[in-house]
Amino acid sequence: MPGLTERQAGVGSLGEGLEALLRWVRPTFGYAVGARPALDIGYFANVVPVAPNLGIAISTDGVGTKLLLAQAVGRFDTVGIDCVAMNVNDVLCVGARPVALVDYIALEQATPALLDALGRGLARGCELAGVSCPGGELAQVREMLRGARPGSAVDLVGTAIGTVALDRVVAGEDVAAGDVLLGLESAGLHSNGFTLVRRAIESAGLPLDAHVAELGCVLAEDSVMTPRFRGSRFMTCALAGPRRVSIAY
């Protein structure tokens, strides 16, 4: 699909809108006496000091518009894995070991089948990441949400925390010429950029149940809806090394 960009798909720069928010958020750093965040806004996560040389890394992220595909095909048992992955990956990027995640589920209709599927995915994601889900929030907000099919609307967001020694926070300030750059091959679509993914599928005229020969699979069942989560335990081992100066994903 030549020329198709995220902006053309409807995802624009937050620009001035984000700055309008941050001018109120940044001053709150000074409100927590003795626990000022260690990093500025803009990293994958931030780190809050809680004890001598101990910080809690914290980050929030959601599954995003991949949920519209889940609603369209009626499959919700994998998006919980995506939710966990998006958040623990953020926490890992500042050098922390993820330990827990809480969820926020907003939905149009709280059916047992839907919540069972979401819970199954969250549990599997936590198992893969080696974290617990000690709580969360469930909100039925019928008037606020409209999904791909009547009654199917749902939004899924998580907040992950991890622990990190304050003298081992990874912020990238020591990156220098000559450093080794290690890249891990992508396993496929994760949970970013699905506004563009959905527009590409629509532009190609592909039904979600189509078998795509080039991919060797059914679009919605395998290529698009399957979570891609390497698990955080591999990265936690990598972080134990003597020197790592920057991480991104």
Return the bridge partners of 156, or none: 105
pLDDT tens digits along 82-113: 999 999 999 999 999 999 999 999 999 999 99
Q: What is the pLDDT of residue 236?
A: 61
User: Which pTM does this prediction carry?
Assistant: 0.84
Query: What are the extents of the domains in the chain?
Result: 42-239
Chain centroid to Cα 61, Å, comes to 5
If phi > 0 it is left, if psi is from -120 to 50 it is alpha, else beta; for residue 18 that is: alpha
Strands (E), the chain: 46-51, 54-62, 97-107, 136-140, 154-164, 211-212, 217-218
Rounded Cα–Cα distance for residues 149 and 126 (Å): 28
What does the mean pLDDT of the chain come to? 84
CATH class of 42-239: alpha beta
pLDDT tens digits along 123-160: 999 999 999 999 999 999 998 988 777 878 999 999 99
- Determine contact, residues 226/72, Cβ cutoff 8 Å: no
Regarding beta strands 54-62 and 46-51, do their DSSP bridges make them parallel or antiparallel, or are they unpaired?
antiparallel
